[in-house]
Amino acid sequence: MPWKRRVFSLSLDDRKAKLVQSRKRPGRFELSVDGIPQSVVSIVEPTDLEYAYTRHIARAMDAAAEPGAPLFTVHLGAGALTMARYVEATRAGSPQIVVEFEPTLYTAVVDALPLPPGSDVRVVFGDARTVADAGLPGEEASTVPSLPSRGLGAAPTGSTAVAAEWVDARFTVVDLWDAAVIRHRVASQEFYRRVAARSAATGVVAVNLLDGHPFEYSRRQAATLRSVFDHVAVVLDAEPEDDEGPLGNVVIFASDEPLDIATTPDLLDAPRSHYLHADPLTSWIADARIMTDADGTDSPDPDDPLWD
């Protein structure tokens, strides 16, 4: 099988990507782009998740439907398809859509680490904001530039195909990184409104961020999501009051229905991450401004000396 090799060097147009298999844990790979870790995935046991933020999202996925029941999931950003593989392992045959900007990277990853036979994973190649802005049924469709459809389950990238596929998502993972930052055009109120419009009435959206004290970016993101969805909860892997703490993952969950991650906080891993909901979340957000297309910022750059 292809994944028995230890190192794959992946050719991209202007970046260097690499898949490296662990020496101590065969079948476990780390994907990096330009030396920046992007994903860790186990081909042997796809439910064994390396990063805490992926475990938080996985627990929310587990609670989103009855065990083993299909869960229509949309992944904005592919990486090594860690969460798509988790859904397939726990809910075999679930319909899934991946929106990925890098066709070459997606194809190389799937060629090196194939998805399980029978996986119902469709890929739309394109910019996530452009794809999200494409017309829904009943709307006038905007134009989505066509890119080559390549890789397992590749779908045409025209707006008609997008509108027909990405509708009533039960769970949406927003994990949109350009190297080490998230661009403001995929973090604005306008963007999240389009994601909400494509979600089911009970759908859950999980947004993965990287931030540190005073969490200005994450607080603005929480404020933005609360302007779109009725229910929002924040999970931090860093101490929210530690002004000398390092950058850490921040996961924001949003839905128009009460969140299981809020009503059943025991879903979170032990030791318990920092969790904010309802009044504590309001206090944490404080006077943070909603992000719009006109008033948004990119996420913090981990290379900024502020985080040293």
**Structure confidence at residue 186 (pLDDT):** 97
pLDDT tens column, 40-69 = 999 999 999 999 999 999 999 999 999 999
**Structure confidence at residue 69 (pLDDT):** 97
Q: Which of 32-46, 116-130, 179-193 has the lowest mean pLDDT?
A: 32-46
**Structure confidence at residue 243 (pLDDT):** 64
- Whether 190 contacts 296, CB under 8 Å: no
pLDDT tens column, 132-175 = 998 776 676 554 443 333 334 444 344 445 546 899 999 999 99
CA dihedral 107, 37, 196, 198 (to 10 degrees): 10
**Structure confidence at residue 153 (pLDDT):** 42
Q: At 250, is the pLDDT very low, low, confident or very high (cuts 50, 70, 90)?
A: very high
Q: Domains, the chain, ranges and CATH?
A: 47-307 (3.40.50.150)
pLDDT tens column, 2-11 = 556 577 776 6
Average pLDDT for 192-221: 96
**Structure confidence at residue 4 (pLDDT):** 60
* Sign (positive or negative) of CA dihedral 255, 278, 185, 125: negative
pLDDT tens column, 109-135 = 998 899 999 999 999 998 999 999 987
> 296 vs 163, 186, 191, CA distance in Å?
27, 10, 11
